[in-house]
Structure 1
């Protein structure tokens, strides 16, 4: 058994070496650059399209206009990342337990590398805007979230390992459009609308499924595949895989608590009988 584990460990390091070829490095840099261009393009398009959809956009102050457009490319990336992650995790056979002999921690593809590279471009763009405009676009929690996400995704891209777990975390971006729509409706003075209420319920359910239950599955998968997890390049990759999802899970629980409080408050107002 020890000899087999040693063989797997050697194989893991060989996988990293084989993965970081010059052609792959060019692909990664191109994908990251493409992600940055994507963010810039959607940012500008959001500024052009928004006045056609919402007349009040013109009257917003500079800070709100900046955040409005920032949330535009945030929403676009979230949908792109969630759909891409869902494809690799569920539709393709890249991570099929019985479809390949390769350890699941070592599986990657040109397409999955490209997705991770584009997401790195997004997180770099958003992180730069958060720093440049601080605290307009968010506080310390966003520094931690983006910093940890970037660190984990970059490691996975370069090593070619644990992309299965990275894509699970990326899929949780599916909740971001609901969060952004809530902000848009708030700014547009639509907090009392039916859409605001329905979006709040959808955000609660989506967060529960994608950021709580799915993380429970992630930790369960880590536990049941710990023989492979121990073979992730040591020690940086191994401890990163154990600590970053845990840190993100704590953040998700904190935000879920705030979302739940907000939903309860909204539903209480709606069900409270009106008095003369």
Structure 2
């Protein structure tokens, strides 16, 4: 599958992507039912894009390998979710929160930014092997995910690192 991200896949790989669609659908419905739209619209949009792209792969039994590469992004989600839990527990000033912030940023760069950059490069290099409609869905999806992830990265940097640096600077000035 590593050599052919378009046509080669195992039944297990197909199942992983299918189950992932189910997860994103369930999370989408949960957010619709339990969160205010202004709090969750970005994640709802993100989930919609993922559901569409993964559904294309599952329905046509192609691009399963590419979808599996996209799931590497979810490794960072572990630390994003832990960050939310620590925020809800009011543990922002704890060592655990600080350590998670550092790991979160590192996994963000490795598993989100690098993966999305690699996927974008792969799409461009394999353009001639991909039908126009599928290529369009893929490139639009990648553009949306890349923009959203750059914005989220900036927010994380500002919230967990730049903000604390400004606060430390202000304390020194007092």
Distance (Å, rounded) in 2 between the aligned partners of 1:105 and 1:161: 5
The residue that corresponds to 2:42 in the other structure is 141
* 5+ residue gaps, structure 2: none
Instruction: Indicate whether 1:205 and 2:93 are aligned.
Output: no
User: Which of 145, 148, 159 in structure 2 is aligned with 1:251?
Assistant: 148
Q: CA deviation at 1:149?
A: 0.6
Q: CA deviation at 1:139?
A: 2.0
Determine which structure has more spread, i.e. the larger CA radius of gyration. Answer: 1
Which secondary structure state, in structure 2, belongs to the residue aligned with residue 252 of structure 1?
helix
> Normalization by structure 1: what TM-score?
0.57
Distance (Å, rounded) in 1 between the aligned partners of 2:70 and 2:48: 14
Instruction: Indicate whether 1:160 and 2:61 are aligned.
Output: yes
After the TM superposition, which parts of structure 1 deviate over 3 Å for at least 4 consecutive aligned residues? 267-276
> How is 1:155-234 mapped onto 2 (pairs within 5 angstroms)?
155-229=56-130, 232=131, 234=132
Distance (Å, rounded) in 2 between the aligned partners of 1:212 and 1:147: 20
> Normalization by structure 2: what TM-score?
0.88
The residue that corresponds to 1:266 in the other structure is 164
- Contact kept, 8 Å, 2:75 with 2:111, in 1: the verdict is yes
Distance (Å, rounded) in 1 between the aligned partners of 2:57 and 2:110: 24
* 5+ residue gaps, structure 1: 1-93, 98-102
The residue that corresponds to 1:50 in the other structure is none
Q: Identify the range of structure 1 (211-220 vs 245-254) with the bigger mean alpha-carbon deviation.
A: 211-220
- Contact kept, 8 Å, 2:5 with 2:66, in 1: the verdict is no
In the superposition, relative to structure 1, how do residues 178 and 267 fare at CA in structure 2: closer, same or farther (>3 Å)?
farther
Distance (Å, rounded) in 2 between the aligned partners of 1:163 and 1:271: 49
**Alignment length (residue pairs):** 173
